A = this chain, B = another copy of it.
Amino acid sequence: MAHMTDAPKDTSHPLPDFDLDSFTPYRLAVAAKRTSEELARQYRERFGVSIPEWRVLVHLAHTGDGTSVKDIEGRVQLEKYEVSRTAKRLAEKGLIAKTAHASDRRLVQLALTDEGRSLMAELLPLAKAYQAEIERRLGSAFDGLEAGLDSFLGDDA
């Protein structure tokens, strides 16, 4: 690609102005990272649970047991290989159990163990409190944020 002389440094291309700080994808990325990390600190340090693990656990807590990897894929915005690996880790930690589906043995059934359930019984209220704190912090701006996010997520998630 056009590798001209390196000598005359400036003048050549008067690059257009561009302010990263007002670039929506960047702003979303930073906001997402902040909230995720702020929350993740709570359950990473206290429970040793990562974000993908958290997502899978929430889904299992929400939809009940007997969910397959395929069911979770997409619903929590994880690729199937991520779900697979996450499930493996959660099983190793004793938080979920993996069993083969009775009639279709391609499917793997995921279910919270008792230990997983009691962990979620502690975690979910924390998450709810965090959500409440966000809403409080944003005040009247919260509804606008929600409406904006709806436009992005409208299709499927």
Give residues in A with beta carbon < 8 Å to B. Answer: 1-6, 9-10, 12-13, 15-21, 23-36, 38-39, 51, 55, 58-59, 61-62, 65, 76-77, 94, 97, 111, 113-115, 117-121, 124-125, 127-128, 130-131, 134-135, 137-139, 141-153, 157
- Partner among B10, B97, B151 whose Cβ is within 8 Å of the Cβ of A6: B97
Write out the residue numbers on chain B whose beta carbons fall within 8 Å of the beta carbon of A13.
117-118, 120-121
Write out the residue numbers on chain B whose beta carbons fall within 8 Å of the beta carbon of A29.
32, 35-36, 51, 77
Write out the residue numbers on chain B whose beta carbons fall within 8 Å of the beta carbon of A118.
1-2, 4, 12-13
Contact A137 B120, CB 8 Å, known A3-B114, A35-B24, A131-B23: no
User: Nearest residue in B to A137 (C-beta to C-beta)?
Assistant: B151
Q: With the chains together, A111 CA to B75 CA distance in Å?
A: 43
Interface of A is mostly: helix
Whether B21 contacts A32 by the Cβ 8 Å rule is no
Q: With the chains together, A126 CA to B63 CA distance in Å?
A: 42
Number of this chain's copies in the complex: 2
Whether B35 contacts A28 by the Cβ 8 Å rule is yes
Q: With the chains together, A94 CA to B97 CA distance in Å?
A: 50
A35 to chain B, nearest CB (A): 4
Write out the residue numbers on chain B whose beta carbons fall within 8 Å of the beta carbon of A125.
16
Contact A26 B1, CB 8 Å, known A97-B6, A124-B18, A157-B21: no
Whether A31 contacts B32 by the Cβ 8 Å rule is yes
